[in-house]
Copies of this chain bind each other. A is one copy, B any other.
Amino acid sequence: MNVYRQLETRFARLSALSDAEMHLHWDQSVMMPPKGAEARGEQLAALKAVCHGMITAPDMGELIDKAESETGLDDWQAANLREMKRQWVHAAALSEEQVEALSRAVTACETKWREARDENNYESVRPLLQTVLDIIRECAEAKSARLGLAPYDALLDEYSPGVTEAMIDEVFGTLETFLPDFLPDVMQKQAQGPKPLMPEGPFPADKQRQLGVEMMARLGFDFNSGRLDESLHPFSSGTPDDLRITTRYDEDDFAFGLMGVLHETGHALYDHGLPKKWRGQPVGSHLGMDIHESQSLLVEMQACRSPEFLRFAAPVMRDTFGGSGPAWTEENIIRLYSWIEPGLIRVDADEVTYPAHVILRYNLERDMIAGRLALADLPEAWNAGMQKLLGITPPDDALGCMQDIHWFDGAWGYFPSYTLGAIAGAQLFDAAKKTDPEIMPSIAQGNFSPLLAWLRENVHSHGRRYPSPELLTRATGRPLDVTAFTSHLRTRYIG
């Protein structure tokens, strides 16, 4: 196992350097003064170049080949080698010219996109988006050959390893039939009750933070291994023992900040629970964006928006802000946090309509990658899809096909992970509750330990030992399907 050991040393260094890079990104979003941007750009570019040089070192492919023929690797080591190879293939499939061309195209396109969105002028950014798409298609082809996957699957593999178009078609296809029937039922049911009341602010940021910290501690977040800060968009970052989560405090609506905290805590708990023995090795990493999102949505949507937990949380909220009156009753808070309202914007969507946003983007990006949909036709296709899936049509492209940064930023193959995560989160939560009947009664008392113990054992501690379909089967008895998710939606919204 001499060669395998050599690879472990290299990947440990690579992981340390890419952790450093991630940390500088955190600082940029949370701490950095504005004029620091230029120097930070240089630091990030230098780190990226060093990491790329290290992973695509001329002898890397040979070392991996040799290690594959060594004997004596245990299961974890074999899985580690498989994941080393995946990282290497993704990096080495692209020439240095392609990496640079993509980086330049994405920077130009993303900058222009901000302007184009503000001015509602899709045509002004279309040529730059075309360049990005052309390079992404080239990259997809290059990776396709090396990975033995279809081009779109090769893109998916970067964000959600092991997931394929065929798997997505099956689950999204079922949802695509389910949702258009289900949504009117929900709206009708919802209309029978009163509209929820918004608690009245202002809610001072320091009180919101105090509430967030209290809930994080209940969820099992260890403040010796992480921090809570503020940034424009909530996110989770850091290393397993140094987790940095952020949120934003709206003084008129504390739900935004709190739900951000709960969601990001779900991400952080996953990273914190990754196998300690494999820190810094590819197999010690999380399973991909789909499974990462399953953990944040499980915590936010399944556990923390449950009536059981909200009945516990409502009085805590009331006490924190000194609220009183009908807006602060348990029943109103439950109603408020499970209110459904179809809208144009994905990031504002509730859990019933969110999948429609993702399915739309998945259908479109798959067609664009396959060359079946031209960028000139994107706005029309977008609007038709919104009408079909949610019954509404965007008044303009700023609220339509230009709302998300992803395509303009080069993240093709990323969108599906949101809804794959929602589905996997529901399936995992369902299995957890069935295995341990104490989970829901504990959550009703603000105690997440039984849930966290189950997640640690069945998800977090496995790192990348198993591909995600196998992990799901081991944890829930079957591969990904939508039954737990749709049945959760039925129970919560129809009853």
Contacts and interface: CB of A to CB of B under 8 A. Distances in A.
B239 A279 contact: no
Interface stretch (A14-22, A357-365, A467-475): A14-22
Nearest to A242: B36
A414 to B, nearest CB: 26
Chain A contact surface mostly: helix
Interface in A201-255: 222-227, 238-242
Contacts of A238: 36
A372 interface: no
B36 A241 contact: yes
B39 A279 contact: yes
A19 B36 contact: no
A405 interface: no
Nearest to A238: B36
Nearest to A32: B242
Contacts of A50: 17, 50
Contacts of A33: 223-227, 242
A42 B240 CA distance: 13
A437 interface: no
A35 B241 contact: yes
A13 interface: yes
A20 B49 CA distance: 14
A107 to B, nearest CB: 17
B225 A36 contact: yes
Interface stretch (A23-31, A121-129, A171-179): A23-31
Given A16-B45, A39-B240, A39-B279, 10 more contacts: A16-B43, A16-B46, A16-B47, A20-B46, A23-B27, A31-B31, A33-B227, A33-B242, A39-B280, A50-B50
16 contacts: A12-B42, A13-B46, A19-B43, A20-B43, A20-B46, A20-B47, A27-B27, A33-B223, A33-B225, A33-B226, A35-B225, A35-B242, A36-B225, A36-B238, A36-B241, A38-B241
